Structure 1
């Protein structure tokens, strides 16, 4: 049986690279979904709803596809953070995050147009942040990297220097849990190896 095309409804270079490293060459179709439309105090509900909305936004562009939408937030001390809005915002966040433990939530929505099915799930990973100095925070924010990331850090970039350890799925922190994706594909009757490029 042929497999449907795999569509990533996200402009995130990190998510695309994770899929490519796992052998999946996705069609990238950015959803451009207005995330401010969705509000929730519950981190899991928020990321799952946003992931589903992102995937649904691109559905009408395909007839036979598996569409993956994802969204990540970081929760620290009961507060939910997405991408920082400015360098000042990123600095203020790191002043809260340093030396603390955060929980990174990534919502995954997988829409199978061929079987008319959808799965929604959330990956959860604990992140232990180093106790950065003010100078280190300023230098990291000045690099520009935190401004592109939920939680104001990129584990796969310079931000990896400031994460002491994680508990849970490593790729979830980068924006897409590969083990969770494999489980979701299996629930739909696919093997992740079906999507490897020969």
Structure 2
């Protein structure tokens, strides 16, 4: 970012390691505040509606925390709150984080030799002005066959248990088995860079 750009602070309303890494790659400094909402309590039929509603719920929860903590937002310097959510869509069904190892195993077996999509939302709120805007992004992933022993290793290691649809395409065990990605890897990981950059610019 050039020195002539407006200065602002960013709060990332997410505990996702992948989202943190993407924000760092984009060159932003930020603080982290987690929303701690019951995501399963929010239901929508369309994945696009679900990820947008969840991002809004996360943003509202973080704003409530800030108000309870009575943290003053500096009027000279805008603070942008970035909230996001991702789900996997497989054969029209929405998949969130697996409930346990068996569900994660079934998810991974389903993807073998087939395709799945991710739908990710980004919501940026300017805490100084109240301006809020969000967008969603969809990516399609086509997989080669995923061997059972690869699935066993992924389950044993455990990272797939904590992500939507047990899907981590950047994982060293999965990466060679991804035949095609129609869209961007950062969107699959939970934070589409281009959408995030655009929303930050519009929010300032």
User: What's the TM-score, normalizing by structure 1?
Assistant: 0.89
SS of 1:146's partner is helix
Gaps of 5+ in 1: 190-198
Structure 2 unaligned spans of 5+ = none
Matched, 1:8 2:12: yes
For residues 162 and 108 of structure 1, the distance between their equivalents in structure 2, rounded to whole angstroms, comes to 28
Equivalent residues, number: 189
Find the partner of 2:196 among 169, 181, 184.
181
Q: How far apart in 2 are the matches of 1:43 and 1:116? A: 26
Mapped partners of 1:68, 1:56: distance in 2: 11
Q: Secondary structure at 1:95's aligned position in 2? A: helix
Contact 1:9/1:68 (8 A) holds in 2: yes
Match of 2:44 in 1: 40
CA RMSD, 1 decimal? 1.5
* Distance in 2 (alpha carbons) for counterparts of 1:47 and 1:130: 27
Supply the distance in 2 between the matched residues of 1:132 and 1:13 (Cα, whole angstroms): 25
Query: What residue in structure 1 maps to residue 151 of structure 2?
Result: 137
State the TM-score, normalized to the length of structure 2: 0.87
Question: Displacement, 1:2?
Answer: 5.0
Q: How does 1:93-172 map to 2 (within 5 A)?
A: 93-158=107-172, 159-172=174-187
Select 2:101's aligned residue among 79, 87, 94.
87
Give the Cα separation in 1 of the matches to 2:177 and 2:45. Answer: 27
Alpha-carbon offset, residue 36 of structure 1: 1.3
SS of corresponding position for 2:36: coil
Moved over 4 A (4+): none
